[in-house]
Amino acid sequence: MESGHRFDAQTLHSFIQAVFRQMGSEEQEAKLVADHLIAANLAGHDSHGIGMIPSYVRSWSQGHLQINHHAKIVKEAGAAVTLDGDRAFGQVAAHEAMALGIEKAHQHGIAAVALHNSHHIGRIGYWAEQCSAAGFVSIHFVSVVGIPMVAPFHGRDSRFGTNPFCVVFPRKDNFPLLLDYATSAIAFGKTRVAWHKGVPVPPGCLIDVNGVPTTNPAVMQESPLGSLLTFAEHKGYALAAMCEILGGALSGGKTTHQETLQTSPDAILNCMTTIIINPELFGAPDCNAQTEAFAEWVKASPHDDDKPILLPGEWEVNTRRERQEQGIPLDAGSWQAICDAARQIGMSEEMLQAFCQQLAS
């Protein structure tokens, strides 16, 4: 595959689903995981898309990821529920957790869902979009257990994960307003994408093993490992710390410290505490009108007409539209790693080449 090639999303989805079926996933599980990964690529977040497949295969082969497992209710108290993800595919456990939370929000107007011990739950905005599609606001605090990648403000080495924070606000007859980002300056997966492409990351994102600033993504992919920095210095660090506590400790999961350190970088365990709110609960009849008035006001003053002001989530909407029409871009290094992972789990060369021919057509 040449660098810069674009793949049709539906054909790529069929291939990814076949990869997980080959690994042993039941049909619904393979579909849920493929749905999520392809959606991440379509939204422009390749760091959380199909490039995760090699890591998932390694995690499964090492005994960390448990296929065909599901989230289990640990405690239920009215509008609140705590779930153990049972090291299942995060795309399965989080889907089940959000479905239960949405059901409770319909019943109570508000719900709180705590999920711990789940394998990697992927792009958090996807779960927020699941809530907004039901007409609900949602707030998500997420932590990564035992794989420190990010240095605290004034720190010299990694002490916690990328700890995403996410909020969504649904709008009538328009795309939802969506805030979704890692509390690190960039997501860890973006260093993987840059490493495969052989390009640097922006300044201010990384330090090497000696604590020296660098733009070389290899410091997060090759030993000895460096660290990501938080966004906005002390502000990002403070938000990351709160995500660690609210996402990890409050959910019934674990925080990152000496006793919880993982031995493999592919043993990605996430905790997520989610608050889901029915906006009708507050009796604000002008809420939608006020939201649209603010959106119009904000977008009305671009510094450069060629660079319009975008609302939160609008970049993903535009990218999704473009990639649905033109295909999903994938660099040669990432594609090779995915094919190698497919071979590792036993996909025949004939099947792999058949998919490659479909994707190339």
Residue 178 scores a pLDDT above 60: yes
Residue type, 192: R
Strand partners, 114: 82, 273
Residue 168 scores a pLDDT above 80: yes
| Domains with residue ranges and CATH for the chain | 1-62+327-360 (1.10.1530.10)
Residues 6+ apart with CB under 8 A from 286: none
How much is the pLDDT for 3? 53
How much is the pLDDT for 360? 81
Comparing 54-68, 105-119, 231-245, 323-337, the range with the smallest average pLDDT is 323-337
Strand partners, 171: 174
3-state secondary structure of 25: coil
Arithmetic mean of pLDDT over the chain: 96
Considering the entire predicted model, what is its pTM? 0.95
How much is the pLDDT for 5? 81
Average pLDDT estimate for 183-212: 95
Strand partners, 144: 270
State the Cα–Cα distance between residues 16 and 342, nearest whole angstrom. 9
Tokens at 287, concatenated: 């809420």
What would you report as the CA-atom Rg of the chain, rounded to the nearest whole angstrom?
A: 20
How much is the pLDDT for 287? 96
State the Cα–Cα distance between residues 199 and 220, nearest whole angstrom. 13
Strand partners, 252: none
Residue 2 scores a pLDDT above 50: no
Q: How many residues does the chain have?
A: 361
Average pLDDT estimate for 155-170: 98
Residue 171 scores a pLDDT above 90: yes
Residue 25 scores a pLDDT above 50: yes
Per DSSP, 175 falls in state: E
Residue 43 scores a pLDDT above 90: yes
Count of H-run helices and E-run strands, the chain: 11, 13
Tokens at 81, concatenated: 């529920």
User: Which has more pLDDT, 3 or 235?
Assistant: 235
CB 105 within 8 A of CB 111: yes
C-alpha closest to that of 270 among 94, 75, 66, 97: 94
CB 227 within 8 A of CB 157: yes
Average pLDDT estimate for 112-138: 99
Residue 286 scores a pLDDT above 90: yes
Residues 6+ apart with CB under 8 A from 300: none
State the Cα–Cα distance between residues 224 and 304, nearest whole angstrom. 43
3-state secondary structure of 311: coil
C-alpha closest to that of 19 among 62, 57, 70: 57
Average pLDDT estimate for 248-259: 98
Residue 21 scores a pLDDT above 80: yes
How much is the pLDDT for 348? 94
How much is the pLDDT for 4? 60
How much is the pLDDT for 1? 44
State the Cα–Cα distance between residues 359 and 134, nearest whole angstrom. 34
Residue ranges of alpha helices (H) inside the chain are 9-23, 27-42, 53-61, 90-108, 124-133, 188-197, 234-243, 287-299, 314-326, 332-344, 349-360
User: Which has more pLDDT, 204 or 4?
Assistant: 204
Residue 89 scores a pLDDT above 60: yes
Average pLDDT estimate for 272-280: 98
Tokens at 217, concatenated: 């993504």
